[in-house]
Chains A and B, each alone.
Chain A
Amino acid sequence: MELEKEKSLKKEEAHHHPPYVTIYFILLILTFASIIVAQLVGRESSPPFVFTLSTIKALLIALFYMHLKYENRWIISLAIIPLIIFVIILFVFMPDILNSIKM
């Protein structure tokens, strides 16, 4: 419907596109890197490396593919609040879950 398109357009007009394909290749490289690192370092010690690489990849996708770098604070808050909740759950549950499981 005409007016819907106008309204959508106005908000999209200011939008420029980051280099999606370039970022894709970076993501591929990082993926291979994490697999290789995990094989080299072994499963026991791999967590810091692979999760750091995951986080870099996640940030690339979030900031550029999901356009969070260019969004306003309302949307950014909606992206950040769930992460805060995740952290709260992880750390506040920890004293009880970690202790009680170890039998």
Chain B
Amino acid sequence: MSQVASVVGHHLESGEHEMSFIRKYIFSTDHKTIGKQYLLTGVVMAIFGGALAIFFRINLANPGFLTDSQYNAFVTYHGAIMFFWVAMPILLGGFGNMLIPLMIGARDMAFPTLNMISFWTFFLSSVVLVISFFVPGGAFSGGWTVYPPLSADPERFLGANLGTVLFLLALALEFASMLMGGVNFITTSLTLRAKGLSLMRLPIFVWMQVLASLLFMFSVTPLIAGAIMLLLDIILGTHFFRVEAGKVGDPILWQHLFWFFGHPEVYVILFPALGILFEVITTFARRPVFSYKLVVYASIVAGILSFLVWAHHQFVAGINPLSATGFSITTVLISVPFSMTLVAMGLTYAGGSIRFTPAMLFATFAFAMFIIGGLTGLPLGAVASDIYFHDTYFVVGHFHYTVFTIAVLSTIAGVYHWFPKMFGRRINDTFGKIHAWLTLIFYNGFAFPAFFLGMAGHPRRYATALEFGFLQKYQWIHELMTISSILLLATQIIFLIVFFYSIFAGKEETEPNPWKSTTLEWLAPSPPPHLNWGAFTPVVERGPYEYASNGKDVDFIPQGRLVKIEHMQKA
């Protein structure tokens, strides 16, 4: 018999105790508010990072728009911002925080105060990053990968010292905040599940968040050691990575430490996005995941393998060729579990009764685009072909087809999907469909030509193609890509306006489960109150995707139901 502490009785019977505006919205420990805070901050940083990209794309189409140093700084910050201040906070901090407790039937995260601290640490890191961009002496412009010796000797190479140190500080704060979040996600998912919710009944979304958090934790920590060494190099003048006559130092050590993190990092953002896609696709195809167990086990295997592939980023850096061969094998191997997951995703559509809401459109586009991204990874993972493609636009195409798909398309699918739950309103469906198609078209207009530039041998990170004879004839491709990217950003800006408008004035959605989905979060009111379930507790009786179950006439059976709490003791 579930007995509940006298606390609940006291708390619920006296009603929500009046919290000041500051405690309720600013320094809140409620996971949903924290999730929204992460989402909002991530969106603001996305506008900043996206604008930077537009500016340097304008420079590529119209050389001379930026100085070369500015170009380098803009490219550096665009990359760093998109990974660390947009994709991670939105996918993990935003969606993870908002949905994990609801999906497992908990009232909040295991460590709510730590959760609050993690957001404000993240906020601080964003502020420090933006400041670092504008300090006198210049922003850090050594690439988001922060390679020494360039980054270890900022005064000598970049003319900027303060910018570099602040950039690294912002990065450290961001890592700290995500690590704190990870502690919450993993602990909560494993220890605070509702009765009946065994691990193999968890929604795929939750599995993916846990895997992502574990991956992040074990991969970023050696890089933190590396960042400390880099800071010592910059501030004290040590020689961990700097190379000077008579002293030792190894820039390759940094590369290894960085990519040991860098590779699992991309799966840190991929897994939550796959989680979102599975939730959206199962709901709108009215089908369970094709082989739940396959997806879970394949993802675990992929997660473990992801720690063994990193040096494919270093094939031409002068690493030991035997080592490179090993990494090439593991890299090609890792495509296997991911392919299995994607095949399962595709087969989830099969036999389904598909309804193309905006969320489903975005999810389907994400699935398709990600396949392109994944396939183009293979010529990069094979050492021989990578020797040609490394540091060309082919890589730019590859990672945009993977990262943009994850960080933008899947995220927007998730936004459309859970918007009614989080805000009690709807975003206009017609707008959503137009948004989806325009995004798809403009995105491909920008990203697909990159592959051709790469095959022509166009290197990355060049401020302009016009100075090089063999590239001049491709200038029209740059113009096409720039125009597409401007239109792409414009579409997203319009979406943001509609998004914020809909929060306050969108069509109201009082039905808690408008999409007729099976997972637990749809049992809560829209939006869920503080402590989520009120005087009820969720109890789970079956798996997470009982749609059109065999032999039954029902369209779907929810995973669990709410049970009124008995034996509430009055304080």
Contacts and interface: CB of A to CB of B under 8 A. Distances in A.
Given A89-B222, A89-B260, A1 B5 contact: yes
Interface in B276-333: 307-308, 311, 318-320, 322-323
Interface stretch (A29-37, A53-61, A92-100): A92-100
A99 B320 contact: yes
Contacts of A101: 248, 250
Contact of A82 (B218, B311, B318): B218
A92 B253 contact: no
Contacts of A99: 320
A100 B308 contact: no
Interface residue tally of chain A, by bracket? 10 to 19
B252 interface: yes
A95 B256 contact: no
B375 interface: no
A99 B256 CA distance: 14
A99 to B, nearest CB: 7
Contacts of B343: none
Given A81-B218, A85-B222, A100-B252, A95 B322 contact: yes
Contacts of A100: 250, 252, 318
A99 B218 CA distance: 26
Contacts of A97: 250, 252-253, 256
Contacts of B252: 96-97, 100
A18 to B, nearest CB: 26
B250 A1 contact: no
Interface in A66-103: 74, 81-82, 85, 88-89, 92-93, 95-97, 99-101
A88 B323 contact: no
B368 interface: no
B7 interface: yes
Contact of B319 (A81, A88, A89, A95): A95
A40 interface: no
Nearest to B251: A100
A1 B7 contact: yes
Given A88-B307, A89-B260, A96-B323, A3 B248 contact: no
B7 A96 contact: no
Nearest to A4: B5
A95 B252 CA distance: 11
A7 B249 CA distance: 52
A91 to B, nearest CB: 10
A88 B305 CA distance: 12
A93 B222 CA distance: 12
A3 B5 CA distance: 7
A95 B318 contact: no
A92 B250 contact: no
Contacts of A92: 256, 311, 323
B180 to A, nearest CB: 16
A88 B253 CA distance: 14
A87 to B, nearest CB: 12
A30 B320 CA distance: 40
Interface string B251-264: 01100100010000
Contacts of B256: 89, 92-93, 96-97
Nearest to A81: B218
Contacts of B190: 74
A3 B3 CA distance: 10
A101 B256 CA distance: 14
Contacts of A88: 307-308
Most buried by B among A1, A82, A92, A96: A96
Given A95-B320, A101-B250, 7 more contacts: A88-B308, A93-B253, A95-B322, A96-B256, A96-B319, A100-B252, A100-B318
Interface of B: 5, 7, 190, 218, 222, 248, 250, 252-253, 256, 260, 307-308, 311, 318-320, 322-323
Interface of A: 1-3, 74, 81-82, 85, 88-89, 92-93, 95-97, 99-101
15 contacts: A82-B218, A85-B222, A85-B307, A88-B307, A89-B222, A93-B253, A95-B320, A96-B252, A96-B320, A96-B323, A97-B252, A97-B256, A99-B320, A101-B248, A101-B250
